[in-house]
Amino acid sequence: MTLAYTSEFTIEQYELFQSLLSPASKSGRPRSVNLMLVLQANLYVLVSGCAWRLLPKEYPPYSTVYYYFRKWRDDGSWKRIHDHLVQWARVTEARDPTPSAASLDSQSVPTAVMVQKAVGYDAGKHIKGRKRFTLVDTLGFLIAVHVVAASVPEREGAKQLLTKLNQEQRRVPQLVRIWSMAASLEKSFCSGLSILFVGF
């Protein structure tokens, strides 16, 4: 099978995570759209960075594609797909499906002129924009991400990310250690997790 775009996948690959998508609603009209094409269209936007309206004609209407993008975001389908793919990749690398150690860091990035929500000034790095906190496992796979205004201190931003992670402890049941650039972090940030914070 020849794929039209590099972001596309085969039927066999689609079947691996088809069951992770939210089921069709029992009310309303029966689902008629091809979900495989919808998912491929979402990946095309992600990989190419194009606007929704510029989707190639081979895919369903952009309004339909965007509807499912938001639906899967809100019902957790994207997170389920991500977590399962990470587990499969870790097993391929002869690791446990879920990590026991991770690294936490932040990065301040400028924002576009039209972006006004959650924007601040990072006086240390002289950047006006947002600050993203990312938690990755030892293979570099993403565990969690949290975006705040660039003016939010490292300590507070890390606390917010780890609080969110603590609410989803089932995703990382074996996580016991986090390496962080912020030496002031405390274990109390994740009272439900047994985490040791070690500065690099």
Does domain 96-199 match CATH 3.30.420?
A: yes
Q: Encode pLDDT of 161-173 as tens digits.
A: 988 888 888 888 8
Q: Is residue 184 scored above 80 in pLDDT? A: no
Q: Where are the domains of the chain?
A: 1-21+33-75, 96-199
Residues 141, 90: contact at Cβ < 8 Å?
yes
Reported confidence tier of residue 6, pLDDT bands at 50, 70, 90: confident
What per-residue confidence (pLDDT) applies to 198?
A: 53
Q: Is residue 92 scored above 90 in pLDDT? A: yes
Distance CA 187, CA 185 (A): 7
Pairwise pLDDT comparison (196 vs 60), residue with the higher score:
60
Indicate the pTM of the whole model: 0.77
Distance CA 181, CA 200 (A): 6
Q: Encode pLDDT of 93-123 as tens digits.
A: 999 999 999 999 899 988 776 666 778 888 8
3-class secondary structure, 83? helix
Q: Which residues pair with 103 in a beta bridge?
A: 136, 179
